[in-house]
Amino acid sequence: MITTKRLKISVSLIIFIVILANNICFANIDDDEVIDINEIKKETIEAVSKNTEELKLNSKIGLIFDRNSKTILYEKNELKQVPMASTTKIMTAIVVLENANLDDIVTISKKAAGTGGSRLGLKTNDKITVHDLLYGLMLKSGNDAAVALAEHVGGEIDGFAELMNKKASEMGLVNSHFVTPHGLDQEKHYTTAYELACMADYALNIPKFREIVGSKKYNITINARSSLIGNTNELLGNLYGVYGVKTGFTNGAGRCLVTACKRDDIDIITVVLSANTKKERTLDSVKLIEYANKNYDVINIEEKIKEKFNNWKQLNEKRIYINKAKTQNINLQIEELKYSKMAVNKKDIDKINIEINSLYYLEAPVYENQIIGNVKVKIGDETIAILNIYNKELIHKKDIFDYFIDFLSFVPWLLNKNLLL
C-alpha cells in the first residue's frame, strides 16, 4: 500500500518536472517582464543628448541599418551567428505571404495545437484563415500559429524549413539557417544581426506584412468566433516613428527585438540580440533609434552624383578621342545608383567627395555598354560607392569605304596645293 502510494507520488513528481523542464527549455513567452517605456525613453534620450558621438549597448549584439542605402550606421557583433528566437517569424511570414492564399482555411493539427512556448491558443481541429494565422504569428508570437502555417505551406516543418532556407539563399543571406518556423532553440537554427535586418527590410516592402506588424491590436476569428489580440512589441505605439517589427525570447537566444522606425527621411531598422532582460533590449533599441536620429541626416546622394557627372560630361565628353572611329560623337552615361538617398553622419557631410575617372583615348570599335571610366563616391578616405561610366551606343571602326571618303574630302585641298597631278 505504501509502495503504491509512493509510486504514484513519484510518477506525479516526474511528470511535473518534465512539464516544468519543457517550459523552462523552450519558453519564449515574451510579455512576462513589466517595463516602464516612458522611464526608458526619458533615461535614453537624456543619455544620448549628453553623449552624441559614443554609443554603448548592454546587449551583446546591436545594429542600425539604413533602409534608404541598405548600409550599416552602427554595429556591434553584427556578423556573429546566434539564435534569434521568435524574430525567426519574420522569415516565416515572408515565405507564407509569397506561397499561400490568405483566404485559405487551415484546420489545426494536433502537433500545431501542442506546440509549447508563446501561443495563440489554438486547439486541435480549430479552423482559421492563413490571414488571421499571420496576425497571430506576428502580434501574439504564436508558436502554434507558426507550426500551422508551416504545415499548410510546406506540408511539414522540415519541408517548410527548406523553403525558408531556399528564400534565404535567394536573398543572398549566407550566415542564416532555419530549422523551425517559430525559433524555439535548435542547434542549427541561427542568423546574424545584419542578415536579420536584411530580412526585415525585405519583408517591410510587402504591404500586407507591413500592415500586420504595424498593428497594435487585431481581431482574429477562430471557428467563426472573434478574439482580440495585442502586439508583443513594446515600442509600437510608444515611441515616435516606430512601425514594426518583431520581438523574441528563448533561454538560448536571450531577449531579441527588431524595430523599424521612420522619422522624416531617417528610415532605419535596429536589431538587438542576446539581451539579458526585456528592459535591456528595450533600452538598447531606444538608444539605437535616438542615436541615429541625433547624429545622422539624409542626403540625396543620387542628385549630387548626377549634378557632378553632368557638369563633367559637358566639359570632357568632346575631349575623348577614338582612334579609327567612324564618328567622335560618344554618348556617355553613368550606372544607376541602387538608392537615391542615404543617411550620413552629420560630422561627415562636408567630407563627401565625388571623383570622376575616365579614359581619354580609345580604339574603335567602342561597344555599347563598354566601360570607359567610373565615379567614386567617398566620405573622407572611405569609398562608399563606385559607379561605372559607359558608352551608350556602338561606335564602329572605319572601313575601306570610310577611308576613301576621307581621301575624297582632302582632294580639293590637295588640288589647291598642286599636290595632285
Query: According to the model, what pLDDT value does residue 57 have?
Result: 93
Q: Does residue 294 sit in the same domain as residue 386?
A: no
Tell me how long the chain is.
Answer: 421
One domain for residues 343 and 293: no
Judged against a pLDDT cut of 50, whether residue 249 lies above it is answered with yes
**Whether 169 and 283 share a structural domain:** yes
Say yes or no to pLDDT of 13 above 70. Answer: no
Q: Tell me, yes or no, whether 113 and 236 share the same domain.
A: yes
- Whether 260 and 327 map to the same domain: the answer is no
- Residue 30 CA to residue 85 CA, distance in Å, equals 10
Residue 16 lies in a domain: no
Whether residue 385 lies inside any domain: the answer is yes
- Does residue 408 lie in a domain region? no
How many Cβ atoms from other residues are within 10 Å of residue 53's Cβ?
9
pLDDT for the residue numbered 401: 72
Per-residue cell: 412: 580639293
Average pLDDT over residues 192-218: 98
Q: Is residue 41 part of a domain?
A: yes
Residue 223 has pLDDT above 50, yes or no: yes
Domain co-membership, 109 together with 185:
yes
Residues 271 and 332 in one domain: no
Strands of the 371-379 sheet, one edge to the other: 332-334, 382-391, 371-379, 352-358
Q: With respect to residue 311, please indicate whether it lies within any of the assigned structural domains.
A: no
In the chain, the number of structural domains is: 2
Q: Which residues pair with 71 in a beta bridge?
A: 66
The pLDDT confidence band at residue 376, using thresholds 50, 70 and 90, is very high
Q: What does the pLDDT look like over 82-129, one tens digit per residue?
A: 999 999 999 999 999 999 999 999 999 999 999 988 899 999 999 999
Q: In the prediction, which pLDDT does 7 show?
A: 47
Q: Which residues are catalytic?
A: 86, 89, 141
Do 60 and 194 lie in one domain? The reply is yes
- List residues bridging with 229 in a β-sheet: 218
Spatial separation of the C-alpha atoms in residues 235 and 260, rounded to whole Å: 10
Which of 299, 334, 352 represents a domain boundary (last residue)?
299
130 shares a domain with 227? yes
Domain that holds residue 333: 320-400
Q: Is the pLDDT reported for residue 18 higher than 50?
A: no
Domain co-membership, 272 together with 326: no
Judged by average pLDDT, the poorest of 52-56, 75-79, 165-169, 211-215 is: 52-56
Question: Does the pLDDT of residue 67 top 80, yes or no?
Answer: yes
User: At 74, is the pLDDT very low, low, confident or very high (cuts 50, 70, 90)?
Assistant: very high
